[in-house]
Amino acid sequence: MAKLLKKPLNKQLEEGVSLVHEVTSENSELEYVSFKMIDLADGGAYKEELGKLEVCVVAVTGKITVSDGSETFENIGTRDTVFEKKPTDSVYISNDQTFEVKADSKARVALCYSPSEEQLPTKLIKADEIGAEHRGKGNNKRMVHNILPDDNPSANSLLVVEVFTESGNWSSYPPHKHDQENLPKESMLEETYYHEQDPGQGFVFQRVYTDDRSLDETMTVENGDMVIVPKGYHPVGVPEGYTSYYLNVMAGPERIWKFHNDPDHEWILK
Q: Say how far apart CA 48 and CA 146 lie, in whole Å.
A: 25
Domains in the chain (CATH in brackets) are 5-269 (2.60.120.10)
Q: Say how far apart CA 176 and CA 214 lie, in whole Å.
A: 16
Q: How long, in residues, is the chain?
A: 270
The pLDDT of 122-133, averaged and rounded, is: 94
Secondary structure class of 84 (helix, strand, coil): helix
pLDDT band at 131 (very low <50, low <70, confident <90, very high): confident
Q: Say how far apart CA 180 and CA 205 lie, in whole Å.
A: 25
Model confidence over 217-228: pLDDT tens digits? 999 999 999 999
**CA 251 centroid distance within chain:** 11
Return the pLDDT at 270.
82
Backbone angles phi, psi at 230, to 5 degrees: -75, -25
The pLDDT of 126-136, averaged and rounded, is: 93
Answer whether 81's CB lies under 8 Å from 25's CB.
Answer: no
Answer whether 111's CB lies under 8 Å from 23's CB.
Answer: no
Dihedral-angle region of residue 68 (phi above 0 means left; psi in -120 to 50 means alpha; beta otherwise): alpha
Model confidence over 29-72: pLDDT tens digits? 999 999 999 999 999 999 999 999 999 999 999 999 999 999 99
Return the pLDDT at 240.
97
Answer whether 125's CB lies under 8 Å from 154's CB.
Answer: yes
Q: Does the pLDDT of residue 1 top 80, yes or no?
A: no
pLDDT band at 139 (very low <50, low <70, confident <90, very high): very high
